[in-house]
Amino acid sequence: MHKLEFKGVTKTFTTRNRSIAVLDSFDLQIQRGEFVCLLGPSGCGKTTLLHLIAGLEKPTQGAVLVDGEPVQKISRERVMIFQDLALFPWLNVLGNVVFGLQMTGMSKPERRQIARRYLQLVHLAEFERTNLHELSGGMKQRVALARALAVNPDVLLMDEPFAALDAQTRDLLHAELQNIWKETGKTIVFVTHNVREAIVLGDRVVVLSARPGRIKRDVAIDLPRPRQIENYAVVDLARGILDLMREDIVTTEFEVAERVPQVGRDVL
C-alpha cells in the first residue's frame, strides 16, 4: 500500500467572481519513508498539495489517501512545517517544542525529556530558554523542525521552509535534514521552487507544470548521500530539469527564485 496517494484530485478555489483550477485530475503515489520533493513554479498548487495531505483543505473532486484511507481531518500523524513556520512567539524555544506533547496531556517531565531530545537533534540544546525573536532564521527553522518531530508524525510536510535563508545556513540545514531523515525514517514531502535544493534532498523530484498543476516529470534521484548543492552530479541533473521546466510559460521565475527569496504564499 502507498503511504500517500492522490487519486484524480481536482481542486478549484472560488474567489469573488471566478474560480481557479489549481489542480486538475492529479495523481501521485508516495511510499513510506520516501523523501519526495515537489518542484514547480509559483502558483502551480504545490502548497495546496501539502494542505490536502495535512487535511487543512479538502479536494473538490477525487481523493487523498493516507495508508489507503481518505484524509478526514487534521492529524498529528502528518505535521506541516509552514512557509513562515507559524512558531508561537509567546512561548520560548522549549515551550514551542513541547506544545504538541502538552496537548496530548503528557506529564511535564516526560514531555520535557522528549522535547530536549529533539532540541539536541537539531543542535539547539542550550537555547531552550531563549525567546524566538532572539533566534536567527536558521535557528527558527530548527525549532520548527523539532516542534514537528516531537509529536512523532509519520509524515513531515515542508512548505518551502528554507526559501528565506542565506546560502550557508541553507546548506547546513540541507545536510541536517538529510541526517534527520536517515535517522528517523519519516516520509517527507518537501515543496520547493529551487531545482538544486530538490535534487539535494529528494529520493524523487516531482516536477509540476504551471497551473493547473500536473506532473511534468517524475525523476528518481539515486545520487549518493549526503549530497551538497554544489556537487557536479547535482548541478548536471539540475540543468536537465531546468531545461524541462523552461518549456513552461513561466520560465524566468526559477532563475529569479534562485537568488531572490520568495515572499508570500502560493495557494492561488
* Cβ partners under 8 Å of residue 228, min gap 6: 171, 174, 175, 200, 234
Cβ-based nearer residue to other proteins, 51 or 227: 51
Our measurement of the distance from residue 215's CA atom to the centroid of its chain's CA atoms, rounded to an integer in Å, reads 17
Q: How far is the CB of 133 from other proteins (least distance, A)?
A: 3
Cβ-based nearer residue to other proteins, 72 or 104: 104
d(CA 110, CA 128): 16
Cβ-based nearer residue to other proteins, 82 or 254: 82
137-150 vs 108-121: helix axis angle to the nearest 10? 130
Cβ-based nearer residue to other proteins, 56 or 63: 56
Cβ-based nearer residue to other proteins, 42 or 47: 47
Q: How far is the CB of 250 from other proteins (least distance, A)?
A: 26
Q: How far is the CB of 146 from other proteins (least distance, A)?
A: 12
Cell of 67: 495508508
d(CA 23, CA 92): 38
Residue with cell 535557528: 139
Cβ-based nearer residue to other proteins, 52 or 195: 52
Q: How far is the CB of 207 from other proteins (least distance, A)?
A: 27
Residues that bind other proteins (CB under 8 A): 54, 56, 74-76, 78-80, 82, 84, 86, 88-92, 99-100, 102-104, 131-134, 147-148, 151
Q: How far is the CB of 72 from other proteins (least distance, A)?
A: 13
Cell of 88: 508561537
Q: How far is the CB of 164 from other proteins (least distance, A)?
A: 15
Write out the DSSP string of 2-66: -SEEEEEEEEEEE-SS-EEEEEEEEEEEE-TT-EEEEE--TTSSHHHHHHHHHTSS--SEEEEEE
